[in-house]
Structure formats: structure tokens, C-alpha cells
Chain A
Amino acid sequence: MIGVQNLSVSFGAVQALRGVSFQAQTGSITAVLGANGAGKTTLLRTISGLIKPASGDVTFDEKTITNEPTEDIARMGVAHVPEGRGVIAEFTVEENLRLGALASKVNIAEGLERQYAQFPVLGQRRKQFAATLSGGERQMLAMGRALIANPKVLLLDEPSLGLAPLVTAELMGTIKQLCAEQSLTVLLVEQNAKSALRIADHAVVLHVGAVVADDAAAAVAADTRLRQYYLGLNEQ
């Protein structure tokens, strides 16, 4: 379980998050939605310790992790797949995966086997440089690299960015399946509200740094006002 309490973040005069509070439950997917600049990426970066908040706290399984260094938060089991995926293009697929396992106690050979079973295309391309992968393959690599260390929390920043609709649908299915199988706490940041709401259990909507809705995904999906004003979903 991961939670934020009254979290505020400022960049100079700009307040990116204003007193954000919510909880993401173990074994469920919480979608974090909102327009560009709503503070979604800032929220994830603050949870993983890359940004230190002006006030408020981040908790992981009842433990306050607000002031822990990023490396330690990652080692506790919080895996953050950053926007743009953060795949290291100069590394091979296998080197990227190995890198994900090094900070954990996971047996690397077993970990690689598991990820190749989950994402067969990575196994086929294990010796290729990540630079040669397609967008969807890179997303799988970034997910595999995060999952190889057996995390408890998965923070996904815009995984559907730049992917074809069919690839996005497949990816969302994989996220849903992984969450259930490994009882992960998934925080799914998306601009693609429609895709995210399809698999999410819970949804939080941000608007210029503040929470405007925090409810079951189905309720958010059914709310005409939210759909129109904050999620950019039209009513056909």
C-alpha cells in the first residue's frame, strides 16, 4: 500500500502539487488522471524520492519514506517506470534487465527466465541493443526491468505514450494480469483516461496540482462532469 498525505511540491514560484492526499491499496490498480501539467509526473517523482516535497508525507506500508533517498526507496520494493520509459539505449535488452536485478537479492538467471516468459519478445531480442526496439517493446523492457526485482509497488508514468491503440490495449491487459498475479500496488499515471479506466479499480483525478476526484474507477468513468472537464472524454 502506498499513500500520500497533504503533499505539496513547488518549483520556484510554481506550485505543482497542492495538498494531495490519497491511498493506493495493495493488489489494486489506481489510475492517476488529468490533463498535461496537472502534476501527475511530479506526484510519481515525489513518491520515488526524486523530488523532495515542500510539505506532506509519502507512506509505504505505514512507513514514512518522504526523506529516504531514491535508491533506498527502490530497494524497499517501489519500482518506478519513468515517462519515456528510461530504457538505456546503449545497453542490450539483457543488460537492461540485469541492471534491474542487481540491487535486489533476486537470482539473476531465474529473474531473466521469468521476464522472458512474461515478455517473449524480450527473449528473442536479448542480445540486441535497446535502441533497436519499437516503442511497445521498449515499454515491455522497462516493465520487465522494473519487475525483475520483485517489487511490491509499480509506478507507471504514461506507459501508453506513443503506442498504437492495439499495443496499448495489450499492455493494459498485461498490467492488469501482473497486478493480480503478484498482488502489486499499481499507480498508473495516464493521459489516456479511457484505457486506464478500463483496467483501474480506483481513480484519482488531478487538476493543476489538486485532487478533484478520488473514487472507484467505475464511478469516475460514469461522472459526466469529470469526463468533460478533466478527462477530455467526449460523450459519443
Chain B
Amino acid sequence: MIASIFASRILNDLLGGITAGVVIGLVALSLVLIWQSTHVLNFAQGAMAMFATYIGMTQLDHHLNYWVCALISVAAGFVLGGATERVLVRPLYGKADINPIVVMVGFLSLLEAIAAAIWSGTPRFIDPPFSSIFFQSDGAPTGLSPFALFQIIAAISVMAATALLFRFTKLGLQLRASALAPEVARLLGVRVNRLLTLGWALSTAVGAVAAVIISTGDTGLYPANMETVFIAGFIAAAIGGLESPGGALLAGVVIGVVMQFVNDYFNSGYAGFVGVILLIVSLLIRPQGLFTKNAQRRV
């Protein structure tokens, strides 16, 4: 009896951790996509996703359906990402690495300030489209709700779609070539600049999916609502290796699960340290990232 309660507690923590972890993984994937194509660490990524979510979700006031608003959020992310690359990032290519970092940190503060000015800093709570009451098993709640299940399926679908796009389409081939060997791609007639814009657009749209999920339910939508998950996603991207989308996803899930266990068995105050400790340990073992191939790139 005690053993089975204990087993179900572990299972519930695992499910809760995976639910949080896939979203961390999405944020990490979004960072990796931008890093791979333009070698910019997009510190404003969480804020851009938040901003796009505001644009979409405030349409609920006009009695639009949740799904339509979610779609508008993702589309807004796509446009905002592309515009950011064209206007803010493009002038910085070829400059010292510190330039894009400073610009993107500035952009992060600016977006949060603008969002607070337009929509106020008070959290806005959005009803989930599915129940967030845990499924019951033998009268006891499991760690999984219908909305959490949707969250996992949505995150995994987005990642799978991204992987398929990159692996199997003409567009994906050109996007990869533009990231790996921009000069060679240009010599073959690939319009690299447009593809870099598209890469930022796609990655910000992926970030917007994560932001829509996070803003729905208990956390609420407010200007700084992506900060915690962005830091976790950033750590996941660093642990997984900035060159490896799959590694970033896996690291995101691991961080989510470990945080959940620490929350449950120790003290929720410690959970914030988990990511940082995992990062330090992984950097000590493999500074290039756990899933980055060791070999240097050769052409």
C-alpha cells in the first residue's frame, strides 16, 4: 500500500515534470534555431514570445475563440521575429559578439516596458481550452490533466514539425545550408538573407507556442511571465549544446523533471537552483554541450 502510494507519487512527479519540461524544451529549441542560423543568443526571445501572445490573446476581448487567438499569437510571433531580424539584428552581423547581446537585452527591457504600458502589468488569466483538473486513478489524482496532456502533445508536435521541415523539405535544406555554409549557399543562388529572416520568424513562432501554453492557466499573462521559463530554456540549450535541437529538448525535459522532484521532496525554493547546478556540472564535464558532436566542422 505504502509502496504503491510512493510509486504513484514518483509517477505523478514525472508526469508533472515532463509537462513543464516540454515547454522548457520548446524555448530551448527556439534559441537553438536562432543560434544555428545567425549565431546570435536571443536574450529577448521570451519577451518577444510574450509580446506576440499579448497581441493574440487580447483578441479574447473581442469575443474571438481561444484557438483563433492562439493562432494570431503564433502569427504575430512569426512577423515580430522576421521584423526583428531585418531591423535590429541584420546591421550587427560581422560585428563583435557582444553587440547582439547588448541589443537583445535592451530589446527585452523595451518589450516588457511597452507591454506594461499598453496592457498593464497585472496578470491576465486565460481559461484553458481543456480542463486543468488532474485525471483520477482509483480515486486519487494523477499528475496529468487534460490541459497538461494537450501541452505535451502540442509541444512535441511543434518540435516534430520543425524537425521534418528541416530534414525533408527544400526550404529546410536551404535553411540548413544558409546556417552551415552561407557563402557556399549564396554561390548556389540561395537567397541567404531572406532565409535568415525566415529562420528568426519560425523560431519566434515556436517561442510564441511556448508562451501561449505558459500564459494559459495558473501562471497568467503578464510582461515578465516568460522570464523564469526563458532562463530554464536557456540553460537547457546550453546543456544540450547550442548546435543540437534534440539535445536542447531532452535537456529541457530533464530540467523540468528534476525541478518537479526537488519541489515535491525538498523545498520549492530550491527548484530555482536546479537548473544552474545542472548547468555548472554539465559545463564542467562537457563545455561544448552534452549533445554537440566533438568533431570540428570541415568543408
Binding site for B on A (CB under 8 A): 48, 50, 69-72, 74-75, 79-80, 82, 84-91, 95, 98-100, 102-104, 131, 145-146, 149
Contact = CB atoms under 8 A, between A and B. Distances in A.
23 contacts: A48-B187, A50-B186, A70-B187, A71-B190, A74-B186, A74-B189, A75-B189, A80-B187, A85-B299, A86-B183, A87-B299, A89-B297, A90-B180, A90-B297, A91-B173, A91-B176, A91-B180, A98-B173, A99-B174, A99-B190, A104-B189, A145-B188, A149-B189
B93 to A, nearest CB: 15
B278 interface: no
Given A86-B299, A89-B298, A90-B297, A99 B188 contact: yes
Nearest to B298: A89
Given A70-B186, A71-B191, A90-B180, A84 B174 contact: no
B96 to A, nearest CB: 19
Given A74-B189, A99-B190, A149-B189, A131 B174 contact: no
Nearest to B188: A100
Closest 4 CB pairs of A and B: A103-B189, A74-B189, A86-B184, A70-B186
B63 interface: no
A102 B174 contact: yes
Given A88-B184, A91-B177, 20 more contacts: A48-B187, A50-B183, A69-B186, A71-B189, A72-B189, A74-B186, A86-B183, A86-B299, A88-B180, A88-B299, A89-B297, A90-B180, A98-B170, A99-B173, A102-B174, A102-B190, A104-B189, A145-B188, A146-B188, A149-B189
Interface extent on B, as a size class? 20 to 34
B185 interface: yes
Nearest to B187: A80
B60 interface: no
A103 B188 CA distance: 7
Contact of A95 (B173, B190, B192): B173
B181 interface: yes
Interface in B192-225: 192
B74 to A, nearest CB: 27
A91 to B, nearest CB: 7
Nearest to B189: A103
Contact of A102 (B170, B298, B299): B170
Contacts of A95: 173
Contacts, number: 72
Contacts of B170: 98, 102
Contacts of B188: 74, 99-100, 102-103, 145-146, 149
A156 to B, nearest CB: 12
A121 to B, nearest CB: 20
Contact of A71 (B173, B192, B299): B192
B169 to A, nearest CB: 11
Interface string B156-190: 00000000000000100110110011011111111
A185 B34 CA distance: 39
A99 B173 CA distance: 7
- Which among A99, A146, A149 has the highest number of chain B CB atoms within 10 Å? A99
B125 to A, nearest CB: 45
Given A98-B173, A102-B174, A86 B181 contact: yes
Given A71-B191, A99-B173, A131-B298, A88 B186 contact: no
Given A89-B298, A90-B297, A131-B298, A82 B184 contact: yes
Given A88-B181, A95-B173, A103 B190 contact: yes
Nearest to A74: B189
Contacts of B192: 71
A27 to B, nearest CB: 23
Interface in B50-68: none
Contacts of A84: 299
A99 B183 contact: no
- Which among B181, B183, B184, B298 has the highest number of chain A CB atoms within 10 Å? B184
Contacts of B298: 89, 131
B67 to A, nearest CB: 35
Interface string B138-152: 000000000000000
Contact of B177 (A75, A85, A99): A99
B259 to A, nearest CB: 34
Given A89-B297, A90-B297, A82 B173 contact: no
Contacts of B174: 99, 102
Interface string B243-279: 0000000000000000000000000000000000000
A72 B191 CA distance: 9
Nearest to A69: B186
B198 to A, nearest CB: 14
